[in-house]
Amino acid sequence: MSGTLSLSTLSLSCRPTIDMRYVTRYSRVMIRSIRHKGLRRLYEDDDSRGVKSGHAEKLRDILARRDAAGTIADMDMPGFRPHPLKGESTGYWAVTVRANWRVIFRVAERDVLDVDDVDYH
């Protein structure tokens, strides 16, 4: 039959890719509190008012990855550079947004708390 398509003729490369920013993950690890109002609005409503316009897309990626990640090691992707903070911010982790801007957060048990968008350095 010339008009039929069988599963054996489908290529694996035809599979759709999934945009992880829009995947709901149900796990015990998740963002529980966000300090920065604009960041909270971006996370909860996908509304970028309140964050720097040039940072919005990267912030979406960071928040989605942080929400889906089981461990800090899961955040270790090109351009994110997760690292623990020292001094007064001991216990917090930082992920690079751009130049001096970082998303910082702390992990308590398996919850992500006090997520903030800060300019430090």
Q: Which residues pair with 84 in a beta bridge?
A: 93
Quote the tokens at residue 13: 């490369």
Q: Which of 36, 55, 83, 121 is catalytic?
A: 121
Which amino acid belongs to residue 6?
Answer: S
Q: Decide if 121 is catalytic.
A: yes
Under DSSP, the state recorded for 16 is P
- Cβ neighbours for 89, distance < 8 A, ≥ 6 positions apart: 104
The set of catalytic residues is 121
